[in-house]
Amino acid sequence: PKKLVSKNSLIEYRKQHLGKSLSLSYKEPLKIVRGSGQYLVDETGRKYLDTINNVAHVGHEHPKVVDAGKKQMAILNTNSRYLHENISHFAKELISTLPPDLNAIHFVNSGSEANELAIRMAKAVTNEKDILASEVGYHGNTNICVDISSYKFDGKGGNGAPKHTHIFPLPDTFRGKYRGENAGDLYAQEVNEQIKNINKKGRNVAAFIIEPIISCGGQIELPKGFLQKAYLYTRKAGGICISDEIQTGCGRMGKTFWGFQLHNVIPDIVTIGKPLGNGHPLAAVACTQEVANKFANGMEYFNTFGGNPVSCAIGTQVLKTIKQEKLQENALKIGQFLKTELQKLSLESPIIGDVRGQGLFLGIELVDKDLNPLKDEASYIVNRMKDYGILMSTDGPDYNVIKIKPPMVFNIENVKELIFYLRKVLIEDFILNYKAK
Ligand code: PMP
């Protein structure tokens, strides 16, 4: 039998025997064998600068995080029906980053599980089923999560919104329904319209869920005032406000530790994932005492792996490392520098329509002069940047937004290298000829 080592044999095996609904990154897929800091290394020893991986938050294979996991794994790993200080230490560390009211924690293993639990909590607390969610929002891969993810059910293979999901327009001020000064209010009105629709059916709201910057939707920053108003309307209707911080949390925004803090609101439930375990499957749901108490209605919530001592040792070390290495401050400083450089680039290149985002969570939207999305150009740039040793990705419903969300140890030199090659690729024939096509 053929050995499963070469790229071709791995691709062939995967086609036949692994999940068939997952695409690989890049036209020429990569085989990655090692990670370190903000770099990934392929099987030939070639080093790539990683601008995509917001999971390797404190850097790929951070030695302190690896060590914390290794040590605890050699001693004990069990479920959380036994007492153990790791779970309490981790909860305490996490609570110290949140507003005082959000001080009850449930540990789970993935972002999807976190949102799944958050929605269950909202339903249990309100005795309602109806969920308000954004157009092209993505909240995970489970049944409930797909049911509230317009990015999935409105896309290929989807069947549209289920009965209890109510979608409001993407609050995009660049290409969306409303632009300009009053956009925040107008988009919030749309949320209120959905609430009225629910009320007309004799029902009320269980939850309103959104990311503070809509990531899969194309790094859409919520317009000023939108979230405050949307929370107000939701709460008036008896609903629970959930902030999905799975991509935006843990200091990535630079100015604030959590994305909702950019908007001066306090959610009832916060879901936390990706960066929390730095690659180890670890996620959490933080909520108020009131929500946690009402959810504890007699039915137990047991999670075999959630909150195990190994995961908790790792998570605690991740949070400590963010503080010790001042990574939130780094995200602010480096993110601002990167955004400014990208804005300069946008003045040179007619296809960069918008540069947006916060901290180390940025997006570059490629459009023609009529604001039509330039998907092929985005794909071309990402593949060419790979040739130059820089990994980037596209997203958004039209795949015309290049997302930048690197490990938080990204530095000034990395920004300069990124900008140097972007500038080079942006004047290649394929890009310059876009108008001719
Ligand atoms: N919410 C958001 C905003 C996400 O980006 C993701 C993952 N892309 C999830 C939830 C689901 O997380 P996971 O893949 O860890 O289940």
Per-residue pLDDT of 122-165, as tens digits, reads 999 999 999 999 999 999 999 999 999 999 999 999 999 999 99
- What pLDDT does 417 receive? 98
Predicted confidence (pLDDT) per residue in 400-425, tens digit: 999 999 999 999 999 999 999 999 99
**ipTM, interface predicted TM-score of the complex:** 0.99
Q: How far apart are CA 437 and CA 435, in angstroms?
A: 6
- What pLDDT does 141 receive? 98
CA 258 vs CA 35, 181, 213: distances in Å = 26, 25, 11
Q: Is the CB of 247 under 6 A from ligand 1?
A: yes
- What pLDDT does 435 receive? 62
Going across the sheet that includes 240-244, the strands are: 104-108, 283-287, 269-272, 240-244, 205-210, 130-134, 165-168
Choose which residue among 107, 109, 112 to substitute to test ligand 1 binding: the one with the highest number of ligand atoms within 8 A of its C-beta.
Answer: 112
Rounded mean pLDDT, 43-52: 97
- What pLDDT does 2 receive? 62
Percent of the chain clearing pLDDT 70 (strictly above):
99
Q: Is the CB of 211 under 6 A from ligand 1?
A: yes
Q: How much is the mean pLDDT over the chain?
A: 96
- What pLDDT does 27 receive? 87
Choose which residue among 52, 109, 139, 148 to substitute to test ligand 1 binding: the one with the highest number of ligand atoms within 8 A of its C-beta.
Answer: 139
Give the closest residue (by CA) to ligand 1 atom 1.
Answer: 139
> What's the CA dihedral at 188, 190, 194, 200 to 10 degrees?
110
Dig out the tokens for 224 from the structure. 């000023």
- What pLDDT does 434 receive? 73
Of the candidates 298, 248, 239, the residue with the CA atom closest to the CA atom of residue 268: 239
Give the closest residue (by CA) to ligand 1 atom 2.
Answer: 139
Q: How far apart are CA 374 and CA 351, in angstroms?
A: 8
